Amino acid sequence: IRTPQADLRLSQSSGSGMPIVMVHGSGSSRAVFARQFDSPLADAHRLIAFDLPGHGDSSDARDPAATYTITGLAQTTARLLDALNIGHAIIFGWSLGGHVAIELASFHHA
């Protein structure tokens, strides 16, 4: 998924329930959520895990100073939600991803 901040790589389940967007921690990748994709949760919900800019298989940030902040990563997550046409979702953040989720909640309707 191309966003203004970076080209993001993601994994999705085929579940049709409320989307759950999983945001990983610093120095990690969407791979930390692999077990969730092998669970009944993946059938009940649309699971989405993505690599933050500069992590995993996503590209480096186009503007590192603006993107590699909590606000910048939350804006990146918001652009991902928009690109996937997700209006409402459960945002699950682990470590750094938790900070990103809290920041996202301050300005995005998801």
pLDDT digits (tens, 9 = 90+) for 58-91: 999 999 999 999 999 999 999 999 999 999 999 9
- 28, part of any domain: yes
Domain at 88, CATH number = 3.40.50.1820
Q: What is the tally of structural domains in the chain?
A: 1
The answer, as to whether pTM is greater than 0.85, is: yes
Q: Which helix (H) or strand (E) holds 63?
A: none
The 10s digit of each residue's pLDDT in 26-67 is 999 999 999 999 999 999 999 999 999 999 999 999 999 999
Q: Which helix (DSSP H) or strand (DSSP E) does residue 50 occupy? A: strand 47-50
Give the structural domain span for 81: 10-105
